[in-house]
Structure 1
């Protein structure tokens, strides 16, 4: 079964696509928005990825989540299942293709440090970046059931990276 998108070599356009989307998102979250980060594989120069821009919005509170959801719908986003308590997920497709994944987390949520830590580690560690790309291509090739299988296959590698990052800290 196919993933939401095929994995491709790094595209130099990904950072500008992130900046464009971040500009559209700031007004949605208003004063609650603390920061907007480019995360995921498209945020790591040289890393192969599904061409889906991962955006992390850090907010001071999620009290206005229903209002944000209505505004995000106007921007083409659909609510996905929350990835964890307090980790709200949205996805945007254009022309039938996934283009963006939006993670909204309240400041202090553990997923913020996880996403930023993995991104920053892969940006500075070429060996782990290569190993991760090879794993992703392998998982895509062997995939039989879809995105859940692919994500489960990546999880041990990412958990190992987090342990590596934490032991260095």
Structure 2
């Protein structure tokens, strides 16, 4: 049975992401637009389940299914959309999961949601700390119940996502104004 393990931030996570990113670039060359380290392991100082979440943005999501075989050879298990329409989701490491791969087609609204949440937590350390405390407490309460752990975070994450998206939109608007001001 898989346990819910939340641990202190580890700078090795960035290196694990970069290593995996290079492997994925080889598989998705010609199809990949961008790749991002997302989730709690992408936020310095934030406690996390030690699983590297990555988001790959591709030109055509329908082409991803043709690349399942090389991903399987790399250790990934295809999970289809797994509850999010338009996404392809993969897990690596079975019960000792090490990586989650979320793949979206360029323009998908979930790309912005993931980046806004990550960048908001990177910018507002107090919010990241609150989130970390919640995750640590839930991990203690639901050591062998990942579904209850996730459900326990759900409302907090939904509220945080709304705040993050509002903040992110303001940041994008400021960048656009600077670009217009200084062409």
Identify whether the pair has TM-score above 0.5, normalized to the shorter chain. yes
- 1:146 is displaced (CA, Å) by 2.1
Residues 108-157 of structure 1, C-alpha deviations (whole Å, 9 max, x = no match): 11211111111000001011010000000111111176222222221211
Report how many aligned residue pairs link the two structures.
167
CA distance in 1, matches of 2:74, 2:65: 15
1:35–1:98 CA distance, 2 compared to 1 (3 A): same
The structure number with the bigger radius of gyration is 2
1:65 aligns with 2:61: no
Match of 1:92 in 2: 92
Structure with the bigger percentage of strand: 1
Q: What secondary structure, in the 3-state scheme, does the structure 1 residue paired with 2:35 have?
A: strand
For structure 1, which segment, 60-69 or 47-56, has the greater mean C-alpha deviation from structure 2 after superposition?
A: 60-69
**TM-score, L = length of structure 2:** 0.85
Q: Is the 8 A contact 1:2 1:143 kept in 2?
A: no
1:2–1:93 CA distance, 2 compared to 1 (3 A): closer
Structure 2: gaps (5+ residues): 171-183
CA distance in 1, matches of 2:80, 2:145: 16
**TM-score, L = length of structure 1:** 0.92
Structure with the bigger percentage of helix: 2
Q: Is the 8 A contact 1:81 1:89 kept in 2?
A: yes
